[in-house]
Every structure is written in structure tokens, then in C-alpha cells.
Amino acid sequence: MTTTIAGIKINDEYRAVLEFDKIDGYYCRLYHTTTEIHPQLGVPIIITEVENHYGRIEEKIALRRYNAQVIRWIGAGAIMKRKKILIACEFSGRVSEAFIKRGHDVLSCDLLPTEQTGPHYQGDIFDVLYDGWDMLIAFPPCTYLCNSGVRWLYNSDGSKNLNRWIVMRKGAEFFRSLLTADIPKICIENPIMHGYAKKIIGQNQTQIIQPWQYGHGETKATCLWLKNLPDLKPTNIVGGRLAKCHKLPPTEDRAKLRAITYQGIADAMAAQWG
């Protein structure tokens, strides 16, 4: 079936997904890229059917493209907005790459080198934290904040492990500095946190998600502290509740492996917040 909008033929063969953000407007991820010549403009175009991420048909439009770059939306009256996004404490590049694929300007930052080829700053996050970002997504170290390690705050005789309390407080203050940064949209990720750290941070998590909600048949309770971002919606609920991360052998890179974001969660962040 073919529909004509604004003098342009819309063929059902070509399809895309329109993600609609009430604050930032529209963006589009193409499934197919087939061109025709626009009858009035005389430039290459892509004909596509568009629907939003809630699964409803939002509207049918045609994208005018020249040299593989989107110039504007034809018939929709909306402009694709590229966000400037900082991904903090990430060496794997999974979240960074997910947003880059959707056309955003992204910088990852970590004390470790990146495992991807995208833009990465290896160094102190505070060197780049206030460079005018639209969004911050951060994965601060959880070793001294997570509930599973709260027992180490006390010695076997019941006395306080003072060194542990000092590094715990530093970790919680670092977390709080990211959460309260002067950036419009923020997501901070960590495992289930113990009460001592939460008291320093000053607020509870916004939501708790699991890998099995995003296509990975595993359990790993993950907390998100959100500022001006909607809750992350499940995208692919699957069976399987294997506690794979918790069963990793005690190797040198165990903590590093546990810190890698699941691909399904990274993709969901980019799709819903990009």
C-alpha cells in the first residue's frame, strides 16, 4: 500500500521507528535506507513509515537526506536534537556506543582506557564534568557503598573499621557530587546500597531494574537515581534468573567484569532517553 503525504509517496516497504520525547522532540532510527528523488526538491530522500516507541503509529513522514545526513523532517515539523552526553565511570563503552549509534555527541570518561573506539577521556571526571552537558549517566564505584559489603564496616569484635568508614564516606560523597551536578538530566547507577551510604547521599534510588527485563536471563538488582528522566521501561522480559555476576570466580578482573553494563540495558537507555 502507498500513501501520499505532502506530495510524497509513502511506501509500506520502508520502515523506521520514531521515538517521541515530550521535552526534546523527535528522532528516528531507520531499519531500511532506500532512496528516491524528491519530485519538488530534486534531492535524494528516504521514504519511511514511522511509529513511536510505545508501539502506536504516530504519523507517516518522509525524511530528506543528502550525502547520508538528515537535513530536516518533511511533513513532521520537528527537528532532530542531538544531545551532548557524558558517560562517567565507564570503560566498556557499551552505553556510549548505544547513544552514539543514535546520533548523539558522547564522551565517556574513566580512570581506565576505553574498550571501544569512541571518544573517551582517561582521567578525573571533574576535569570534564562541567563542560555544558545535556545529560550525565554515571556508574561510580560501588565497592564501599553496596549492601553486600556493609559487614566490612565493622571488625570481628564489633568495633568500627575506621579505614573502611573513611573510604566509604569518600565514595558516597563522590556519588553525591555526580547526582547533584549542574546538568539537566542525570542517571546514576549502583547496586543495592547500604543505609550508611544512602544517609550521606541524601536520597533513595528512583527505581530498581533487573537484566531479565532487558533480554538477559540473569539477576542483578540495579538501582537508578534519576533526575529529570522517566523510569526506564522494560524492553524484553525473558525467562532465566541466573545470578551469573555473583558466581564469577575470584580473579583479578572480577570487579571489572561485574561493572560492565548489560547490552540490553544500555540500548534501552539510549532508546528511551536519547
* In the chain, domain spans: 2-74, 84-273
Fold designation for 84-273: Rossmann fold (3.40.50)
pTM of the model: 0.70
Phi–psi pair at 224, nearest 5 degrees: -125, 125
User: What are the tens digits of pLDDT across the range 208-241?
Assistant: 999 999 999 999 999 999 999 999 999 999 998 8
CA atoms within 13 A on the CB side of 123: 8
| 3-state secondary structure at position 133 | coil
pLDDT: which is higher, 176 or 15: 176
**Rounded Cα–Cα distance for residues 145 and 174 (Å):** 11
Task: Name the β-bridge partners of 64.
Answer: 45, 72
- Of 221, 226, 194, 195, the residue nearest 208 (C-alpha): 221
User: What are the tens digits of pLDDT across the range 69-117?
Assistant: 232 333 333 334 689 999 999 999 999 999 998 888 899 999 999 998 8
